[in-house]
Structure 1
């Protein structure tokens, strides 16, 4: 029998990209509205946005009937001498995540292009020598998170990072230890980079450990590719759109995920909206939940 994905949402769907930014909705409003939209599960979002004191955060969540599915953090382990700075950020997130009773840390590779300005910061591709070195560092990170905090790493391929296209995702999976590293399949980012979500699910079922549900607008993506725009500018143009207005189609994705019986799978709605007006997210989040629940096996 198929297992339903466990639906949730994230601060990202409320236009939250940073731990502290006056352009973002206050965290109290996010918690009130995500619960009001009908969600019962959330991610922590950028560290420092929600309260980092476990007792305070637990009280705030309990008041609204919310639980945490994962923490989220960027890493930069492809760079030399980067372990200590990466671990400082990851361990803080992992500690709070574990204190909230969650089991996952979503780890995202850092950008090669500045998300705000579009400026190129470094080479867009890893070299043949850098790939295995990077994979060993990710394995090391996954093992440290597991051993110290009892959490599972969920690696999140991301636009404008070194693990973005379908081919690079496959290489990443080939280079990393399947016993340590699972994949956070972000349907929007895979489609943004012309990847095939269904094929990844089909070809690597045992590596899919977590999901971000989102869609991209094909018309906006045409402009992004023609003009060579960076991810931040693409988001401002509406690249990540409200389902069912974009791609990939959600019903086949949800059906394929439901067939993955090896894992209790969280499917988190995460629509990039930064920046956005404060009254924009709630109606979208409400409609999105209603739409997804009409598509397939979710609870």
Structure 2
């Protein structure tokens, strides 16, 4: 007889529009926002992220009403930034960030997920800039991210959690370590996405242990190693890789999530662990059964 894993008492499980095939504020191929809210609650989740700004209602009163009647709460908002370009992009960046931070705060959340800009277009594969930053760009990335962390904390009371992401400059274990070494832990934490980290050659359990004091948030996803090998061999951009199914339903891929969650529990801090199975675009009836099975699987890992 197998025993149940210990309850993950410090881990709060949620999901996100991404798991319903949502990548953009408005796209006819995406699940309508009302259906997403209905189905994410039906699947057994209590926490959600905002997703792309403008997908869910941006009026805090309306969004509060819509989430509350379904028993949902917001864990974080998400912003995209190109801070390695330095002060020249600050004004436009802040205009974008401040709108999302205000809604995130109004919904009672405490985190803002920060995703670096892509070095190649995630649809066409067009190379937008060099995939390797210069030393000067690394300095700008570190200093401007600290500035963002300070401003978001001071003005909105939110903590930024930077999300290493495929096809960005914060991707591999080496680049993640370099970024963390260059930034102030008081201002910049990490959103460790298990799927993206594996996609870029990393081991999430090792990352949690090595960067223990910097782990502020988790995204849970898995990659299909067979498809990933094809993607790497072909040099495929992230968007087409997702279309091919590189991000797969747990527990069929890597990394194994039970050891990741156990390592996160050992940090002895409260953490959100938000499921994000990239699958844009996808048929409208596909996400809910996957979400139900994934929630049941995570319960079997101790995530109540």
Q: TM-score, normalised by structure 1?
A: 0.98
Q: 1:157 aligns with which of 148, 160, 164?
A: 164
Alpha-carbon distance in 1 for matches of 2:99, 2:28: 23
Give the equivalent residue in structure 2 for 1:137: 144
Moved more, 77-86 or 171-180: 77-86
Does residue 200 (structure 1) correspond to residue 207 (structure 2)? The answer is yes
Alpha-carbon distance in 1 for matches of 2:118, 2:251: 28
Structure 2: give runs of 5+ residues left out of the alignment.
1-5
Q: Secondary structure at the match of 2:288?
A: helix
Q: Secondary structure at the match of 1:64?
A: coil
- Deviation, 1:294, is 0.1
Is contact 1:3-1:259 (8 Å) kept?
Answer: no
Calculate the aligned-residue CA RMSD, in Å. 1.0
Q: Secondary structure at the match of 1:225?
A: helix
Give the equivalent residue in structure 2 for 1:27: 33
Q: Secondary structure at the match of 1:136?
A: helix
Does residue 231 (structure 1) correspond to residue 238 (structure 2)? The answer is yes
- Deviation, 1:217, is 0.2
Moved more, 52-61 or 198-207: 198-207
Does residue 6 (structure 1) correspond to residue 46 (structure 2)? The answer is no
The aligned length equals: 297
Where do residues 236-255 of structure 1 align in structure 2 (5 Å cutoff)?
236-255=243-262
Alpha-carbon distance in 1 for matches of 2:136, 2:69: 50
- Deviation, 1:174, is 0.3
Where do residues 86-125 of structure 1 align in structure 2 (5 Å cutoff)?
86-125=93-132
Alpha-carbon distance in 1 for matches of 2:214, 2:250: 25
Q: Secondary structure at the match of 1:234?
A: helix
Is contact 2:164-2:197 (8 Å) kept?
Answer: yes
Q: Secondary structure at the match of 1:78?
A: helix
Q: Secondary structure at the match of 1:273?
A: coil
Does residue 62 (structure 1) correspond to residue 72 (structure 2)? The answer is no
Runs of 4+ aligned structure 1 residues displaced above 2 Å come to 1-4
- Deviation, 1:85, is 1.1
Give the equivalent residue in structure 1 for 2:3: none
